[in-house]
Chain A
Amino acid sequence: MLTVYRHNNLSGYIFLLPLFLFMAGFVLVPVVGTLLNSFYKDVPFLQSEFNGLDNYRSLGGDSSFWQSLRFSLLFVMAAVPLELLLGMVFALVLHKATNSKALLWAAVLIPWAIPSAVSARIWELIYNYNYGLANFVLTKFGLTTEPINWLGGSFSAFWAVTVADVWKTTPFVAIIILAGLQAVPDDFHESAKIDGAGFIRRFFSLTLPLLKPVIVVALLFRTIDSLRVFDVIYVLTGGGPGGATSALSLYGYEYYLIGDFGYASTISVVLFVIAMALSILYVRFSRFERE
């Protein structure tokens, strides 16, 4: 008995080996490299030298870094709940829909099927001050006399970016939640109905608890993704106005661009640590691990 078990275990590891090697080559090496690099002064026109935690120290006193960090965290707090809420609504609608399902599917999935950079470009054309769709509609119907400069203030630019991101990624949440909904057997609902539970009651006491693992997965993905948001902002605002929408990833990229690889690595490491910490928190709190 025992030998068979062991043998199984071993063959399992053998099967996992290619994946592990792949991950080691393409994930572990760059990540460790980035981490090591963050302890160096690595600028092309200076002598490369080990400077310990100097980069982290300068990060602490770097007001633009704090601005970026603040933006990134606020962005997560604004975008993720919205995506979850809308995704839930879409999922319920799709789950209930009996006719015109294909059409609904298409409508929900299209934003997600469009590459981020392209969808950001679309939103750019919506927000554009001179010939954007939003201002065109508003002035056409006499809702405003002056066109609105959507990307011009830190507050409105923040929400402009958030809306663009929510539009794009809500379908992803909807699909995951829908998958969870499909997994709830119908007889659960049947028996609850017989017990006299209404729709609301059934949703909160039955559907939601059963969906919990699925919601956690969606939450995890979306949190990490929106923490690392890059393409939407790069295309839409480039971090403007005045760095107000510069997410951490964008800030790191900026330093990479100007050739300070050490500092750029430091910013990446910080971002990585935050993403890791959040993931661990989620998994802990949701008791996602099968006990």
Chain B
Amino acid sequence: MSCLSTCRIEFILATSQPYLYYKCRYINSLWGCMMLFRYISIVIAVCLVLSCGGQKESNLVFTVGGAPAEIDFWEELADEFTAETGIKITVNRQPTDTDQRRQGLVVALKAESSDPDIFLMDVAWVAQMAASGWLLDLEQFGSDGSFSLEPFYRNVIELADRYNNKLIALPVYVDGGLLYYRADLLDRFGYDDPPRTWQELIEQAVRIQAEMQDERADFYGYIWQGAQYEGLICNFLEVAVSGGGGIVNQSGEIEINTEANLEALRMMRAMIADYEISPPNTYTEFTEEEVRVLFQQGKALFERNWPYAYKLHRAENSAVRDKFAIASLPHFEGGRSVATLGGWHIGISRFCDLPDQALEFVRFVTSYETQKKLALNLGWNPGRRDVYDDHEVLNQLPHFAQLQEIFENAYPRPTLPYYTQVSEVMQRYLNSALAGEMTPRDALRKADEEIETIVSRYSQ
């Protein structure tokens, strides 16, 4: 639609140009340049569109995004795979941003394109892709027992990779929220252990922050992801479920507006507004990287983040290199620690033109050797449990011993095909409550109402 108005403008611009042209000698060269530039860009766009429908040969295509270094490593792995099996495979690079990665896949799959054949999916969209009928059942071809699911995390396979009793994906990378804490500071102020409950975390954070702020004004007690994006939902679930709340109630229906959730949201808001242990830009700017960098500069006592931050906190240039440790996130009194299950899963497109070769690649990626390489080179947490006991891996990544236990109890987001729609609404209202734009009670009530319409619109 925007295209039409742009073209209308383009047209007006082009037609009004002569008028301006002969009136002002002064600017005409500029207008001319501008017009030329616009037309050139249109021509380029046309060429791009036409070139999309070009060459077509049968070739495995693996679509993967992420940090440039990660994609480079995938390309190395692909070459290895070709050397091993003789099957050619092209790596199709995607951006880093998760939303953009999904969008790229959805457009190709909706068009029933034969490429990509294989791709990585965020655990939060596996259900949607499965429900759309876009994923092959990995067990439907190949001989019996083609996959031994033994080495994988059972809970992850059952909760994320099975849809209607079909195995439609396998975990390549498992993720869960952790508490990073400054062991040196806790020591200095006489605390032996990291906080077990949220109350303890708040007490320690308030006290140590007050002491530390004499030294540096920008020191904060607890930093976490509160910006309006999927990460906020992960953070919220970790707090809410640890006090008996959550998104799905006993009867399997989505229900947000509960007392436990209200308590969780109130506490999160209080961390920012009352205790002031989390900065006000928590709800505007704090995504994983913002939080990681602050902690790494030594500006925070506690940090909630994914395991990827561990390797970076240990890097040469980190101010907290040997001063921090990890633990399970705190919980409410009487509850239990929760880590939201995150991570990336590999699946095969239903429109894939070479399913047998694609399956070979999936097998290769989820093999012990490849998963070990991913751990050692990228610091990824493998989807296979057995890699966590590998000596070489444990030597380089000693925290894997702790991670294993955390992943055993990871809490999944609901496997609904319309989960992303639900998430969008929750993000908006939770973020509003954190910003103090509405009360936690109102936010949950309105979110519930809006989610009800979503459920009625999207459930069959």
Contacts and interface: CB of A to CB of B under 8 A. Distances in A.
A240 B425 CA distance: 12
A242 B432 contact: yes
Contact of A152 (B5, B30, B435): B435
Interface string A170-189: 00000100110011000000
A271 interface: yes
B18 to A, nearest CB: 12
B3 interface: yes
Contacts, number: 165
B390 interface: no
Interface in A216-244: 217, 220-221, 224, 228, 237-244
B185 interface: no
Most buried by A among B1, B5, B9, B46: B1
Contacts of B110: 44, 259, 261
Contact of A179 (B8, B27, B280): B27
Contacts of A178: 24, 27
Interface string A247-279: 001000010111111000000110110011001
B99 interface: yes
Interface string B415-453: 001101100110011011111111000010010001001
A167 B12 CA distance: 24
Contacts of A162: none
Interface residues of A, number: 58
For chain B, the bracket of interface size reads 35 or more
A129 B284 contact: yes
Given A152-B435, A243-B432, A268-B1, A182 B458 contact: no
B294 interface: yes
B203 interface: no
Contact of B2 (A26, A228, A241): A228
Given A64-B450, A241-B432, A257 B281 contact: no
B279 A129 contact: yes
B1 A257 contact: no
Secondary structure call for the A interface:
helix
A254 to B, nearest CB: 6
Nearest to A55: B457
A209 interface: no
B106 A130 contact: no
8 contacts: A27-B4, A44-B131, A46-B460, A151-B285, A153-B437, A175-B27, A179-B24, A228-B5
Interface of B: 1-5, 7-9, 12, 16, 20, 23-27, 30-31, 46, 99, 102-103, 106, 109-110, 128, 131-134, 218, 227-229, 279-281, 283-285, 294, 417-418, 420-421, 424-425, 428-429, 431-438, 443, 446, 450, 453, 457-458, 460
5 A-B pairs with least C-beta separation: A242-B432, A129-B281, A183-B23, A182-B24, A45-B131
Interface of A: 23, 26-27, 30-31, 34, 43-46, 58, 61-64, 128-130, 149, 151-154, 157, 175, 178-179, 182-183, 217, 220-221, 224, 228, 237-244, 246, 249, 254, 256-261, 268-269, 271-272, 275-276, 279
